[in-house]
Chains A and B, each alone.
Chain A
Amino acid sequence: MDNSYLIKTDELVKIFPMGKSKITALNHVNLQFKKAEFSGLVGPSGSGKTTLLNIVGSLDSPTEGSATVMGRKIEDLSHKQGAELRNRHIGFIFQTFNLLPVYTVFENVEFPLLLLGLSAQERKKKVMKALEWVQLADRVKSKPAQLSGGESQRVAIARAVVKEPKIILADEPTANLDAENSHNILRTLEKINRELETTFIFATHDEKVIRYLRRKITLIDGKVARDEVFENPVGKGEGQ
């Protein structure tokens, strides 16, 4: 395996049984993602975007072929090993933020670090750093219910980046946000990508997100239809 790739799929196939028939969600997908990529999976609903994110995020395993993430074959991982991989190396950003409502902003961001078993001092330092990235250091004591949609998503981003993972998987991260908040979020993510060299993979059909991507992979019927690289994404500088 070429070690310069963080993620590599070889002839990746995912088939879901649907009653007596079968649906092929991914059909012999071959992709590689390098460190610090800012890429996105685009395509219509049912094209296999989320299925691919699931497999790369060790939430699901392939039916055929192979997916290698951080040098570990997803199909060979036990549930516990999959959880460990997610815990150490993968951050998730969801469409609906999914913050824990009874905990403060600080505690929500702190949670992944608790799973890593870091000391209180280390946790505090990392949480504050993550909140500064998303410009919410002054809202540490707020509860999710007291935040706007944009702020909630920024907390979710802080939660995803706090452990400084190598990979962040974002599923429609701007779907519930207005244009201004979407641009703010995307600029924040781009900044994190640049400064921490985190590999981002989006699953989206939001045009605003697509304009920020440096690599756009179009999936149609579970196959890679196009894989385009942009030196200067058009979204850069928008919304300012």
Chain B
Amino acid sequence: MIKFILKGILRDRSRSLFPVLVVAIGVFLTVLFYSYMGGVMTSFLDTSAKFDTGHLKIMSRAYAENSDQMPNDLAYIGVERLMNELKKDFPGYVWTKRIRFGGLLDVPDDSGETRAQGPVAGLALDLFTPDSLEWKLLGIKDSIVQGNAPEKPGEILISDEFAKRLGISPGETVTLIGSTMYGSMAAANFTVAGTVHFGITALDRGAVVADVTDIQMALDMEDAAGEILGFFDNFVYREEEAGLAALKFNVKYEGEKDEFSPVMMSLHEQGGMIDMMGMINLYLPVLVIVFVIIMSIVLWNAGLIGSLRRYGEIGVRLAMGESKGHLYRSTIIESIFLGVIGTVIGTALALVIAFWLQEKGFNISQMMQSSTLLMNDVIRAKVTPMSFVIGFIPGLLSNVFGSSIAGIGIYKRKTAQLMKELEV
């Protein structure tokens, strides 16, 4: 019987082409949107984790409350001891200290007078410890545009865009003017080792990358750091595990009244991430449901038109002794078959484009000119195993649902009218 149904589908294009096209288009959009949104969010989370939040972040309570202002006067003191404890208590993670700082970068001319000046947002990292993970984490070497990576204390990297704006070349000496963690003025000279382009507009506008020890000295932050970032040792974020680690850490310091006592936050607890991740988790199912409903309505109508066109055939089949249940089931089998074909076509087409977008990406730097989001300028899709199967939800559901509603007409058909109907 299934073979009989398949023959009918393959030979009667008007019965198969439209449903297959509708399903293929819907599935195509679902899979592409899913892969693209997956890429956007992965990129956003990945970039945020690497440059800002880590998978876990430890700050002093006071710093955490005002972290947007980079309040180094509230930085945590006793970083080395705490990091040793973290390595012991949380063995599945790697830890690194960072200082985010703001200031003015002054470029002198030959006579020592100011030639150019500009505000900078600095990031102090552990650059010189032999097993430092920062090089790999931020892809520093791959981001260098001119000059070299810092090789010794006193060398820094500045963003290529900023260097061009201020007319700075590698090898030049610049002065960082800022304030110490105790509020007094600080000025320190650095040599520009090279320029970098991270591909993140928010950083590339005016970033300075320096060694954390240099900045601790410059800003009088001995054994202090604004933030200690923790990453899963395989660099794959696991929300639940990170939340439990933060809970475990915070329980330990729960009783302390000191506003400088440490507090740990997981990635999703920082900067509205929890809301954003909640939205993502909500959006995709909603999207799939919306597609299912829209496609079901279209396919329901297609099914009704098909039923009208095949009115005679259905009547003959009933007259010949096919039960209504059997006939109804055969239309469902037909819809499953068409749904699978449409889904495979839609998924295949979407994956071709998603793979292309994964490789080439989509440059949104023009839209990110004034953005402060830590997002890559090139947004890429991400093809995951889920991308291969997610289309089956709207593809099969909508077709089966549409046919199920349209097929109700079979039950409403009065067999007593068949003779008259079939005389037309």
Contact = CB atoms under 8 A, between A and B. Distances in A.
A181 B419 CA distance: 22
Given A96-B423, A96-B424, A80 B323 contact: yes
Contact of A50 (B7, B319, B419): B419
B11 A90 contact: no
Interface of A: 50, 53-54, 57, 59-60, 79-80, 82-88, 90, 92, 94-96, 98, 100-103, 107, 110-112, 114-115, 159, 171-172
B319 A92 contact: yes
Contact of A87 (B313, B316, B320): B320
B423 A83 contact: no
Contacts of B110: none
Contacts of B325: 80
Per DSSP, chain B at the interface is helix
Contacts of A159: 320
A74 B419 CA distance: 17
Interface in B387-424: 415-416, 418-420, 422-424
B394 to A, nearest CB: 28
A86 B4 contact: no
A87 B319 CA distance: 8
Contact of B316 (A53, A100, A110, A171): A100
B285 interface: no
Nearest to A203: B419
A112 B423 contact: no
A84 B322 CA distance: 8
B320 A60 contact: no
Interface string B1-28: 1001001100110000000000000000
Contact of B418 (A59, A85, A114, A172): A59
A54 B8 contact: no
25 contacts: A50-B419, A54-B416, A54-B418, A79-B324, A80-B323, A80-B325, A83-B323, A84-B321, A86-B319, A86-B320, A86-B321, A87-B321, A88-B321, A90-B321, A92-B319, A100-B313, A103-B7, A103-B8, A103-B11, A107-B7, A114-B4, A115-B321, A159-B320, A171-B419, A172-B423
Interface in B180-208: none
A163 B318 CA distance: 16
A95 B418 contact: no
A201 to B, nearest CB: 13
B312 interface: yes
A112 B8 CA distance: 16
B419 A59 contact: yes
B315 interface: yes
Contacts of A57: 319
A94 B322 contact: no
A84 B420 contact: no
A54 B318 CA distance: 13
Q: Chain B interface residue count: which class?
A: 20 to 34
Interface string B311-346: 011011111111111100000000000000000000
B418 A112 contact: no
B423 A87 contact: no
Nearest to B10: A102
B12 A83 contact: no
B420 A83 contact: no
A167 B422 CA distance: 19
Contact of B422 (A60, A84, A94, A101): A94
Contacts of B423: 94-96, 171-172
A59 B319 contact: yes
A111 B12 CA distance: 17
Contacts of A50: 419-420
B419 A94 contact: yes
Q: Which one of A94, A110, A159 has the greatest number of beta carbons of chain B within 10 Å?
A: A94
Contacts of B317: 111
Contact of A60 (B4, B11, B415): B415
A98 B419 CA distance: 11
A159 B321 CA distance: 12
A85 B419 contact: no
Contacts of B312: 98
Nearest to B310: A100
Contacts of B7: 102-103, 107
Given A79-B415, A98-B422, A172-B423, 14 more contacts: A50-B419, A53-B419, A54-B416, A59-B416, A83-B323, A90-B321, A92-B320, A94-B316, A95-B422, A96-B422, A96-B423, A98-B315, A107-B4, A111-B320
B11 A102 contact: yes
Contacts of B326: 83, 115
Nearest to B423: A95
A198 B313 CA distance: 25
Contacts of A98: 312, 315-316, 422
Contacts of B11: 102-103
Contact of A85 (B319, B321, B420, B422): B321
Q: Which one of B317, B319, B320, B325 has the greatest number of beta carbons of chain A within 10 Å?
A: B320
Given A59-B418, A98-B316, A171-B419, A83 B8 contact: no
B415 A59 contact: yes
Given A50-B420, A54-B419, A98-B316, A83 B324 contact: yes
A185 to B, nearest CB: 17
B334 to A, nearest CB: 13
B323 A79 contact: yes
Nearest to A84: B321
B320 A115 contact: yes
Contacts of B12: 102
A83 B418 CA distance: 13
A113 B360 CA distance: 57
B323 A84 contact: yes
Nearest to B1: A114
A108 B12 CA distance: 15
